[in-house]
């Protein structure tokens, strides 16, 4: 099991980024969460197999139609608490 924290910047709010990210993550069998930040960016915490996380990262670089991703920061972290589902949080 691996964990990555993603910070997605650009035009990523108001374009169904979180909902689309949740759908892709669930399809890949990943757990974690995704949320909007007050500065207009999106943050996600993802747990699962490394290859599946990397597939989500590839998707996050483009996002859903209407999104314009200008940057994606990825930080691999140690899992402190295992998460069992993938949710949209506030």
Question: What is the DSSP track for 45-64?
Answer: EEEE-HHHHHHHHHHHTT-S
Instruction: List the catalytic residue out of 5, 18, 27, 41.
Output: 18
Residue 18 annotated to the active site: yes
Distances (CA, A) of 73 to 18, 27, 63, 85: 16, 22, 14, 22
Say if CB 84 and CB 20 are below 8 A apart: no
Question: Which one of 5, 27, 36, 71 is the catalytic residue?
Answer: 36
Residues taking part in catalysis: 18, 36
């Amino acid at each position: 099991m691996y964990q990555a924290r993603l910070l997605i910047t650009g035009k990523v709010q108001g374009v169904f980024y979180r909902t689309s990210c949740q759908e892709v993550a669930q399809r890949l069998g990943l757990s974690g969460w995704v949320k909007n930040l007050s500065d207009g960016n999106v943050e996600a915490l993802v747990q699962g197999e490394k290859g599946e996380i990397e597939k989500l990262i590839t998707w996050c670089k483009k996002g859903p139609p209407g999104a314009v991703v200008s940057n994606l920061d990825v930080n691999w972290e140690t899992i402190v608490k295992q998460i069992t589902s993938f949710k949209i949080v506030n």
